[in-house]
Structure 1
Amino acid sequence: MPESDLSLLIDAARRAGDTARAYLSEPLDVRYKDAGAGPVTRADLAVNTLLHRVLGSARPDYGWLSEESPDTAARLGAKRVFIVDPIDGTRSFIDGEKTWAHSIAVAEQGRIRAAVVYLPLLDRLYAAAEGAGARLNGAPIAVTRRASAEGGTILAKKPTFETGNWPGGVPGMTRAHRPSLAYRLSLVAEGRYDAMLTLRPTREWDIAAGALILSEAGAQVTDRRGAPLRFNNAHPQTDGVLAANATLHGDLLDRLI
């Protein structure tokens, strides 16, 4: 059930933080994956191994989808599936920054049921179970109520705001960015920014946990064209992400399509 799963995810995330911190003063053996998929370090792999062991031993019947594990079709037949990014924001980790996160979620029948995003160096643990609200370090959080894009704040990469992406007109919003997608989603969930948008195809492990945290914080979370997000797909990727309260989401979507 989601509540018991959430307790498991919280414990696993904190243990992942301990593992990752142990590598901060060690050689990281940075390598780059094929097809421009970005860097991977010894820390990413160590955290992945830890999470696979901890979560898999607790829920041996759950499937497994992780950025740092070979994907197999076995997860498609599982009733519930762990969707994991061992370190979201690996470049930040390599650069000695603090805005990297562990992103862990449980999906069932395409929906995320429990989720945690944990930033060990900032001591920020975002958590949600379906129907139970979203919390940051145990305190309830909620998205902003801004109704119009004009004058609002949004987390997005700079190319997102090129004129050609906005047939309905580029919104007059203040743009900011964080390398970790999971952290971007979580920042909107706690109301520090009004919206989050990425137009690029997005891997499920980057957004699964953050999507539930945002939804439970009162946001509407869809792909870039307004379609609902579903998880544990055969090709684990979505067509971008748009997230904000329902009114602001509608305003932004009208400008995009």
Structure 2
Amino acid sequence: MQAADLQLLIDAAQEAGEIAKRYDGRQAKTWHKPEGAGPVTEADLAVNDMLERELRAARPNYGWLSEESLDGSDRLKNDRVFIIDPIDGTRSFIEGSDTWAHSLAIAEAGEVTAAVIYLPRRNRLYVASKGQGATLNTEPLQVSTNAVMQGADVLVARPAMDAALWKETPPDFKRGYRPSLAYRTALVAQGRFDAMLTLRPTWEWDIAAGDLILREAGAATSDRHGAPLIFNNADPRLAGIVAANPRIHAQICGALAPHDRAQ
């Protein structure tokens, strides 16, 4: 079933790419979600409509969690659930950049078992199936082997480097950034960067696919407290994400301040 699920996600992601590429993000109709939740475009909605229609028809017994669909408690009754971000990096899409992605995952009992991150404008298809490794355009992925946190190449936004979030001085990372969280996870799985982290509450759909791709590439992943990432929660927000090879992951988690101090 895992192999069939993965192929289903691959086919859906590629179809999503064809739909999204019909739109010029700079001219697409755009709305702003309530409470500062960010923008959504007609392309996001068109992709989401196709994915929800086709994936749910293919797996009617799976639950559904998507950034662009109304959420409810019904998915909590399902053993398996789709976790979908139709376009991750919508702001990048609106700017006319090519660093946005489709992020598709299936989770079973809280653990992601099949995952796809697809950047159609860059022709990058990252995929993983539980226990079967991770690939980029069919080539195996492996995380970096750098074992030292200080000076590591890390994808991290400036707010996460606030001194209050660290036990001592924030690490001397070589900082990089990409607007799509899914793409950040994929780049670490690819070994292009040593680690990525975000310490803010993080929506499941932003990181579900990346979590499996990272782990199948040899990474350790956790929330900001070092706890495993568990998906399909009633509140689909996790306490951030820290991802790196096991050595650097342990060093970063050990350097972060306790949650109560960070508040």
Deviations 1:32-83 (A, max 9, x none): 0011110000000000001111211111111100000000111000111000
**What is the distance in 1 between the residues matched to 2:166 and 2:227?**
18
The reply on whether 1:95 has 2:95 as its aligned counterpart is: yes
**Structure 1 residue 168 displacement after superposition:** 3.4
The reply on whether 1:55 has 2:55 as its aligned counterpart is: yes
**What is the distance in 2 between the residues matched to 1:131 and 1:176?**
30
1:197 — aligned with what? Answer: 197
**Structure 1 residue 110 displacement after superposition:** 0.3
Given that 1:169 and 1:255 are in contact with CA atoms closer than 8 Å, whether structure 2 keeps it comes out as: no
The alignment yields a C-alpha RMSD, in angstroms, of 1.0
The reply on whether 1:78 has 2:78 as its aligned counterpart is: yes
* Counterparts of residues 1-257 of structure 1 (less than 5 Å): 1-24=1-24, 27-257=27-257
**Structure 1 residue 169 displacement after superposition:** 3.0
Distance change in 2, residues 1:58/1:143 (3 Å): same
**Structure 1 residue 166 displacement after superposition:** 1.2
**What is the distance in 1 between the residues matched to 2:203 and 2:47?**
19
Distance change in 2, residues 1:25/1:79 (3 Å): closer
**Structure 1 residue 95 displacement after superposition:** 0.3
Distance change in 2, residues 1:10/1:228 (3 Å): same
SS at match of 2:242: strand
SS at match of 1:200: coil
Distance change in 2, residues 1:166/1:17 (3 Å): same
Choose 80-89 or 152-161, whichever is displaced more: 152-161
**What is the distance in 2 between the residues matched to 1:122 and 1:25?**
15
Distance change in 2, residues 1:195/1:74 (3 Å): same
**What is the distance in 1 between the residues matched to 2:127 and 2:152?**
25
**What is the distance in 1 between the residues matched to 2:64 and 2:9?**
14
**What is the distance in 2 between the residues matched to 1:139 and 1:118?**
14
Distance change in 2, residues 1:255/1:26 (3 Å): closer
**Structure 1 residue 26 displacement after superposition:** 8.1
**What is the distance in 2 between the residues matched to 1:96 and 1:209?**
24
Length-normalised TM-score, structure 1 = 0.98
Query: Quick one: percent identity of the two aligned structures?
Result: 56
Length-normalised TM-score, structure 2 = 0.96
Paired positions, count: 257
Given that 2:202 and 2:239 are in contact with CA atoms closer than 8 Å, whether structure 1 keeps it comes out as: yes
SS at match of 2:182: helix
**What is the distance in 1 between the residues matched to 2:226 and 2:104?**
24
Structure 1 runs (4+) greater than 3 angstroms displaced: none
**Structure 1 residue 27 displacement after superposition:** 3.9
Given that 1:85 and 1:103 are in contact with CA atoms closer than 8 Å, whether structure 2 keeps it comes out as: yes
**What is the distance in 2 between the residues matched to 1:167 and 1:79?**
39
**Structure 1 residue 151 displacement after superposition:** 1.8
**What is the distance in 2 between the residues matched to 1:223 and 1:160?**
13
Alignment-mate amino acid for residue 44 of structure 1: D
Given that 1:10 and 1:116 are in contact with CA atoms closer than 8 Å, whether structure 2 keeps it comes out as: yes
**Structure 1 residue 25 displacement after superposition:** 7.0
Contiguous gaps of at least 5 residues in structure 1: none
Alignment-mate amino acid for residue 141 of structure 1: L
Alignment-mate amino acid for residue 117 of structure 1: I
